[in-house]
Amino acid sequence: MKNDYLVKQKVQPHLSAAPEATLRMIVVIPSCNEPELLRSLEALYRCRRPSCSVEVIVVINHCEKASEGVKLQNEKSRHDAQQWINNHNDSNLQFHIIYKPDIPVKHSGVGYARKTGMDEAVYRFQQIGVDDGVIIGFDADATCDENYFEEIERTFFAGKPVTGASIYFEHPIDGYEFEDEIYEGIVLYELYLRYLKQALRYAGFPYAYHTVGSSFAVSASAYVKQGGMNKRKAGEDFHFLHKIIPLGNYAEINTTRVIPSARCSDRVPFGTGATMNQWMSGEKNLLITYPLQLFDDLKQFFGLVTQLFNADAKTVEENCKFLQPAIVEYLLQNDYVTNIVKINANSASPEAFTKRFFGWFDALKIVKYLNSAYSNLNYQKNFEKEQFIEEATYELLQRIGYKNKLKNFASMERCLELLEIYRDVERGKI
């Protein structure tokens, strides 16, 4: 099956060195204009070795219209990384560089770079006849804990088959590397990410997981089955992982940690770096977020799913007419009656219907709904208090069973305390 994928995708291998027979994990790092690449390589090198061999593939890339500054930085990264690799020989943890300069603008970007490295990983696993190898997403500005490889190995090879996994992450929230405003912004942004995930779980969305490019792993067989990585210039991780998650047997690895950078960046139009840019320039106010009421409305809608199985068009309309106006309007825009009737026609059981339903009303539709409802001022005006992130996140904690009172009352200190609580929730400490 992997060979069919490689032929269909017209994958041309870039690395000549033969893989170790014991290779089971390959880390892929896209790198464009990355002055801190060696720090990431050092962090991976410091990790305790698992029982299998591991490779790290760095894809240094830039588009044909990249500035001279970017090209020079990439040349420096390539040179410095190769020297570093020459001085860090380890048969159980090998590092490789794929250099992709002057990529056509149409294709260039982080999605293209990830795909290049991940396809190379598939090829290398195929060379040694490995079907259950693991491809790991990492970033060139990230670091990790020393048990990183051990915990990924334990998740994928010590129990039931796993198609993919989101790996626990924590941005740095204090220190001397960045100015105070950056640390304030990253606290709010990470709190938003954790709020969004927990709010979607509260609403009943079965595929609510973090989809962060520096913090995931996927089996090579699942990667191939779902058609590989896309070439999106941003959001490639979100779209890719939401093809993997519905396969089932998706895991969360909360026993180790990836530490992504909190820096500003203009490499992609959205994501952490872009959000930090917008926060620092005043374009984005991270102190406000989606009102919890939006997730209450989703919860009401998702609570109807079992009733919609085997429902005809009239019954579908009857069941949904009591939903909140914002979600009804969105459903109408998406021709919900026709789609649900069609889903029923192809579903022989409630389980099959539910899976197909959330294949239709998927994560992308949810994000579009949240943005649509959030931008509707007539809908927002009743929930102004819950737009503030400390209010929304605290209220959600109460809904999911956290009853303790917060100690801090100043906005930023309260948000920092809330973030620590959300981190503990995700690590299973609460």
Give the pLDDT confidence of 23-47 residue by residue, as tens digits. Answer: 999 999 999 999 999 999 999 999 9
- 2-12+23-281 is classed in which CATH architecture? Alpha-Beta Complex (3.90)
- For range 167-185, the mean pLDDT: 91
* Window from 50-64, 110-124, 355-369, 395-409 with minimum mean pLDDT: 395-409
Q: Using the 8-state DSSP alphabet, how is residue 388 labeled?
A: B
Q: Are 197 and 425 in contact (CB under 8 A)?
A: no
Both tokens of 249, joined, read 């047997």
E strands of 42-173, at which residues?
Answer: 53-63, 93-103, 134-137, 143-144, 164-169
Q: Which residues contact 184 (CB under 8 A, 6 or more apart)?
A: 412
Residue showing tokens 């041309």: 12
Give the per-residue pLDDT at 209: 98
**Helix 363-375 and helix 292-302: axis angle, to 10°?**
130
Count of all residues that appear for the chain in the document? 430
Does position 378 have pLDDT exceeding 50, yes or no? no
Both tokens of 207, joined, read 């595929």
Q: What is the mean pLDDT of the chain?
A: 92
Q: Which residue, among 351, 305, 346, 297, has the nearest Cα to 325 in the 3D structure? A: 297
Q: Enter the pTM of the model.
A: 0.94
User: How does pLDDT run across 258-287, given as a tens digit for each residue?
Assistant: 999 877 776 666 677 778 788 888 888 888
Q: Are 60 and 74 in contact (CB under 8 A)?
A: yes
What are the structural domain ranges in the chain? Answer: 2-12+23-281, 292-387
Q: Which helix (H) or strand (E) holds 140?
A: none
User: How does pLDDT run across 332-356, given as a tens digit for each residue?
Assistant: 999 999 999 999 999 999 999 999 9
User: How does pLDDT run across 394-418, given as a tens digit for each residue?
Assistant: 999 999 988 877 777 667 788 999 9
E strands of 260-348, at which residues?
Answer: none
